[in-house]
Amino acid sequence: MPHVPGLRSCYAKVGRLIHFGRMLDKIRLHAQGKLPADYVPLVGDSQVYTLDSRLCRFLGVPYEIIRHHVLLHPAESDEDILTWTQARGALRSDEECHIWNRFIAKLGWRDERSHVLPQRIIDSGLTGKTIETLIDHIEYDEGRDPVADRSWEKI
């Protein structure tokens, strides 16, 4: 999948969390009909293993509630949306957010999703790239180089 205008990196942080801003981008792009069709089945929390689903469970707020709020308040900043979400869900410490970030950054490396990664690399034509995690794959697939950028060091 090529770079998607308006869709930020998985590593980009909003507040203390990676992926939250990306999830908001997907909500907005989907509502505008600009989210690529390949992404649509992975949006939301209906599938247990998607990043959105994992994040919604971590936050303790269902995806549809976040989506509804985002679309109802288009001028609200991402930070304000995160504050709103956190006020309705599970209170998370700095340590828990750090663990979340590190867990997501390493997803697909020696865990229950490891079996998925090799086929995704082949299917996307990225054989030969230094891809160790699912997020590495997403980053390369969208035209970013997380290894050259050392993206994991910024979280």
Q: What is the pLDDT of residues 9-57, one digit of tens each?
A: 999 999 999 999 999 999 999 999 999 999 999 899 888 889 999 999 9
Query: Can you give the residue ranges of every domain in the chain?
Result: 1-91, 106-144
pLDDT for the residue 1: 59
> Considering just the CA atoms, what is the radius of gyration of the chain in Å?
15
Per residue in 98-128, pLDDT tens?
Answer: 999 999 999 999 998 899 999 999 999 999 9
Question: Is 54 within 8 Å of 22 (Cβ atoms)?
Answer: no
- pTM equals 0.93
